[in-house]
Amino acid sequence: MVGVVLAGAAWVMVYAVLLRATRNSPEASRFVGEVVYLVPIVAATALAVYAARRTRQRVATAWRLLIVSNLLWLLGESTWAVYSYVSPDGAPVPSFADAAYLLSYAVALPAIVIGLGLGVLGRTQGMLDALLVAAGAAAIGWQTLISPLVPSTWNAPALVTFLYPVFSVSIVSILVAVMLSGSRHVPRSMVIVGTAFGLAAVTDGAYAYLTAIDRYMSSSWVNLGWQIEAVLLCVAAVVAGRRAESDQPRTLDPDLAFLPAVVAVLAVGGLAVADLVLVGRLSLVTLAVTMLLLLGLLVRQVVATRDRARLTQGLRTAAITDQLTGLYNRRFFKEMVDVEAERAVRRRLPLSLVLLDLDHFKDINDTYGHSVGDAVLADVAQRLRREVRGSDLLCRYGGEEFVCLLPGTPAPAAYELAERLRQTLRGTPVTVAGMAEPILLTASLGVATDEAGERGRVDTDALINEADQAVYRAKALGRDRVVGSGQPAPTAADPVTDLPPALVWMADRIDRALGDRECAAAVSRWAFRTASQLGLDEAAQRRTAAAARVHDIGRITCLATRQPDQPGGTGRAFDPGHPAQGARLLVELAARPDLAPLVAAHHERHDGTGYPYGLAGTDIPVEARIIAVCDAWAELCAAEPHLPGASRQPCRDELVRGRGTRFEPAVLDAFVALLDDGVLDEPACFAEHPAAPVRGEQRPVPR
């Protein structure tokens, strides 16, 4: 690059020496001024082709236009040289050379506009700034260059001579406008091109003046300006080609938003002062430019105000919106919960909150990657958005947590919405592009309500904390459930953390196919508490709860072989093979052989009359004895679903009758003690709409 610059500088020096050395020799002077003069123009044209091939996007477009402009310039100069040798008086005015020169300017103007970035300022204010600066520069150019050269009588030679300074002023105005309008996409090569044309504009002004006074000759020093222009175009082409420039080169990014207007005002103000001092009145040109400037400044201010309002709104939206899900973020939730709390107090209405936490979401990120996790979060957001009302505020609270603020919603309605959200998520697996299998998803939800109308105030921090604690209790109770803030806390940690989500999901699908209430999840919770009541160690408690959670998975073979005309949901029919089948599935498919003996023995009886192996007493694993009692209670509750928990004395009596025969007395006594204390919860009802079938499953046809 340095070599190219040095070569260009050397050429300019050589040309200057030749001009001086041949000034006393007409033939040598003409040869230097007409033939040698063409060398850098030919080089600039060839290098423009090189630059156009190497560059991209708008820069390549600018260089293609410069190829045409340089060719026209070369054609005009060649024509001028021929005239100088064949005609004693040189080229006539106008001539074909003048046409080529003016066309070269006409093509160069859009090349400058495109290359310097006036077409990609990207904002109305930038365009207005450019127009204001152009108006000021044009006014100065008119007064200093064009006005003195306006002919008294118009003819073809006068018109051609007049057009040269007009094009020069236009080029300079565009250059100044673009440079001061804050364009952020000015390639380095285009800066050099702009410099070249700026110098050419000054040179053209000097040529027009010398022509007007009939002093221009081929050996004039004015030619040195055009030689420098051609050399600069050569350097610009080499820079563009070597850097393979596009729309994103090094940028000129001065923050000069005020400068264009200041330049325009000072320029026109200076002209006005000059008119008043020299002429005693304002010229029509100055008045016209002044009116244009005032109008432009007014429009610019309107546009700036509009852009500022849009920017403020955009920043506000970005600040309160979660980029991944498109929901409001935690910051906006914190603002709105206080607003809604004040409104709830003022109108004496309840204010409810639903906090949702996706279950095992870390496993999704660890197994499939964070990109899949992001896709799951976006899908969850869309599902939740479809379920809430327009007056509800749904936000991403953080990570895999979502929160829904429910103004004017009492606790039962909030709990109902939370259950609907839970069913929405667990009902259909999430399908992610590029994934062969859908991802099973469940969530734990906490509901909290503040009756502002009764207490006269809302403690928002306490409300959020209650919902958060409810989520914790939902997790500890086995996940995939809704817990209200008034429900008792569990006595131990989550009993099923070591179960694969797919296995839990399959157990729930079996429950759904066999009835309208959960069974496996409830039996797991009860078994966990009973094991704790019996004093089993923590590992045994967790193992008991895990086996209870999947104790009926062996029934899947019965469901798979059921005929299409057999209605589903009629209860858990006698199936002596399902305990052993479930144990086999745990060993072969779930890699949980530790749970297999417990599931296999959960239908054994204390007196040895059970199945499938006829075990009795302590030969039955204690975990299986616990599951047997809890499973029997679930069947009794399912048989009397209309009875509330406090009215299930007949069911309790039926259970106690199995003491010593069907059930081990110690296990039964521990369970009944929990039952009498009201610690055991009720099995949850499934949503009315069934889950979407997974791949390959046929949904039963309603009859």
Q: Which of 277-281, 318-322, 642-646 shows the lowest per-residue confidence on average (mean pLDDT)?
A: 642-646
What pLDDT, on the 0 to 100 scale, is given for residue 337?
A: 92
Delimit the domains of the chain by residue range: 2-117+185-251, 321-490, 492-703
| CATH classification for the domain delimited by 492-703, as one of 1.10.3210.10, 3.40.50.360, 3.40.190.10, 1.10.10.10 | 1.10.3210.10
What pLDDT, on the 0 to 100 scale, is given for residue 134?
A: 59
pLDDT at 67 over 50: yes
Q: Average per-residue pLDDT in the chain?
A: 78
pLDDT at 257 over 60: no
Confidence of residue 149 (pLDDT cuts 50, 70, 90): low
Q: Burial level of 88, CB count in 10 A (0-12/13-18/19+)?
A: exposed
Better-predicted residue by pLDDT, 46 or 508: 46
Better-predicted residue by pLDDT, 518 or 18: 18
What pLDDT, on the 0 to 100 scale, is given for residue 222?
A: 82
The average pLDDT across 681-687 equals 63
What pLDDT, on the 0 to 100 scale, is given for residue 480?
A: 85
Q: What percent of the chain has pLDDT over 90?
A: 27
pTM over 0.75: no
What pLDDT, on the 0 to 100 scale, is given for residue 564?
A: 45
Better-predicted residue by pLDDT, 453 or 611: 611
What pLDDT, on the 0 to 100 scale, is given for residue 121?
A: 44
Q: Which residues are within 8 A (CB) of 68 and not within 5 positions of it... i.e. 6 or more apart? A: 107
Q: What percent of the chain has pLDDT over 70?
A: 69
CATH of domain 321-490: 3.30.70.270
CB 238 within 8 A of CB 4: yes
Better-predicted residue by pLDDT, 87 or 74: 74
Q: Which of 297-306, 472-481, 617-626 shows the lowest per-residue confidence on average (mean pLDDT)?
A: 297-306
What pLDDT, on the 0 to 100 scale, is given for residue 46?
A: 94
Q: Describe the strand order of the beta sheet including 393-398 as a list of residue ranges.
A: 393-398, 401-407, 350-358, 443-451, 482-484
| Cis before 88? omega within 30 | no
pLDDT tens, position by position, 552-600: 888 887 776 654 444 444 456 677 888 998 888 888 877 788 899 999 9
Confidence of residue 56 (pLDDT cuts 50, 70, 90): confident
Closest among 174, 141, 135 to 296, alpha carbons compared: 135
pLDDT tens, position by position, 426-439: 888 888 887 878 88
Residue found under tokens 């001065």: 254
Q: Which residues are within 8 A (CB) of 366 and not within 5 positions of it... i.e. 6 or more apart? A: none
pLDDT tens, position by position, 339-380: 999 999 888 899 999 999 999 899 888 888 999 999 999 999
Confidence of residue 180 (pLDDT cuts 50, 70, 90): low
What pLDDT, on the 0 to 100 scale, is given for residue 607?
A: 93
pLDDT at 604 over 90: yes
Question: What is the helix (H) or strand (E) element at residue 539, kind and residue range?
Answer: helix 538-549
Confidence of residue 670 (pLDDT cuts 50, 70, 90): very high
Confidence of residue 198 (pLDDT cuts 50, 70, 90): confident
Phi, psi of 583 (to 5 degrees): -60, -40
Confidence of residue 274 (pLDDT cuts 50, 70, 90): low
What pLDDT, on the 0 to 100 scale, is given for residue 568?
A: 43
Which DSSP symbol is given to 658?
A: T
CB 439 within 8 A of CB 374: no
The average pLDDT across 138-143 equals 57
What pLDDT, on the 0 to 100 scale, is given for residue 567?
A: 45
